[in-house]
Amino acid sequence: MGGWAIAVHGGAGVDPILPNERQEEAKRLLTRCLDIGISALRSNLSAIDVVELVVRELETDPLFNSGRGSALTEKGTVEMEASIMDGPKRRCGAVSGLTTVKNPISLARLVMDKTPHSYLGFAGAEEFARKQGVELVDNEYFITEDNVGMLKLAKEANSILFDYRIPTLTTCGGSAAMENQLQMNGLPISLYAPE
């Protein structure tokens, strides 16, 4: 047995010209989440409880693409998804198409713990959330000003963007795309948000 360990992520595909202050903001959030996880592990919380706890924190902060701060659909709404898996017995739970559940990861945990199923989506998942009494919020809660701007850019570029959370409008717009030769999926990297 090698002792506990923890890792967190806030998405991949970072804009190479991401401003330093945005990088530092992201590092602060990751450090805070690691600290929460470390404290929980030192308090002997189980691995499954710790991953839920840490992801809830990431969902609640608007910096990365999950929960509040989620990427927007073509209609300007938020549809979230999450999953959780417990290694020892390979138990798992997953949800998709959530529009009002404040912390999707906890609903995924409830699917794992409280249903005979592995995956609930859309209306059925929302109904299950209401029955379980989890915290619900209006869809507007998840929508940030930055993301509204990024959706506008995505529509102007007629492209689907990866979930770039951190870039400012000036770093992910068309001019930045022209300056940057790196490509992902055939599109300039600067058009993507780091997932």
Partner 1 sequence: TVGCVVVDKQGHCAAATSTGGLMNKMTGRIGDSPLIGSGTYACDLVAVSCTGEGEAIIRSTLAREVAAVMEYKGLNLHEAVDYVIKTRLDEGKAGLIAVSKNGEVACGFNTTGMFRGCATEDGFLEVGVWE
Rounded alpha-carbon distances, angstroms, from residue 58 to 14, 70, 127: 17, 11, 24
Burial class (CB in 10 A: 0-12, 13-18, 19+), 132: middle
Taken as a whole, the chain contains a residue count of 195
3-class secondary structure, 97: strand
Cα–Cα distance, 110 to 190 (Å, whole number): 37
Query: By C-alpha distance, which of 33, 35, 38 is closest to 4?
Result: 38
Is 130 in contact with 154 (CB distance < 8 Å)?
no
Nearest distance, CB of residue 66 and partner 1, angstroms:
4
Rounded alpha-carbon distances, angstroms, from residue 6 to 33, 47, 83, 92, 147: 10, 9, 17, 19, 29
| Chain center to CA of 50 | 17
Is 36 in contact with 53 (CB distance < 8 Å)?
yes
Cα–Cα distance, 82 to 56 (Å, whole number): 11
